[in-house]
Amino acid sequence: MTPAQASLAKKQASSPPQYPLREGKDRALQKYEVLAPALPGELRELVTSGAVAIGEVGRFVPDLATIPVSGGGFVIEFTTGMMDFAYAVGRAMAGIHVGHNDSGPENEVALGIDRLAQLVAEVFDQWRRHVRWSWLRPGKRIQYAQFAIAPGPREWIEGLVTNAEIFMLGHELGHVALNRRLRSPEFSSQEESADALGLEFFLIGAETRLNRRIAYAAPVFALLLFEGLERIGVKFSAAYPPQSKRIELLRRAVRARCPSEQAYYELTTTMVSYQDLMDDIIRHIDKKFDTVAADAERILVRLIAQLIEVGAGKVSVEVFIRDITDIAKRNPEKIMRQAAEKLIDFYVPPPPQESVLSPELRLKMGVALATTVANLPQPARAFFPTGKLKALP
The pLDDT value recorded for residue 18 is 96
Cβ burial, residue 235 (10 Å; 0-12/13-18/19+): exposed
The answer to whether the CB of 50 falls within 8 A of the CB of 4 is yes
The pLDDT value recorded for residue 250 is 95
The pLDDT value recorded for residue 266 is 96
The answer to whether the CB of 215 falls within 8 A of the CB of 207 is yes
The answer to whether the CB of 16 falls within 8 A of the CB of 80 is no
Query: Which pTM does this prediction carry?
Result: 0.91
Rounded to an integer, what distance in angstroms lies between the CA atom of residue 339 and that of residue 347? 13
Q: What is the mean pLDDT of each run of 10 residues along the chain (393 residues)?
A: 96 96 96 95 97 96 94 95 95 74 54 87 90 67 86 88 97 97 94 96 94 94 92 79 92 94 95 90 77 81 95 93 93 93 87 86 92 91 80 52
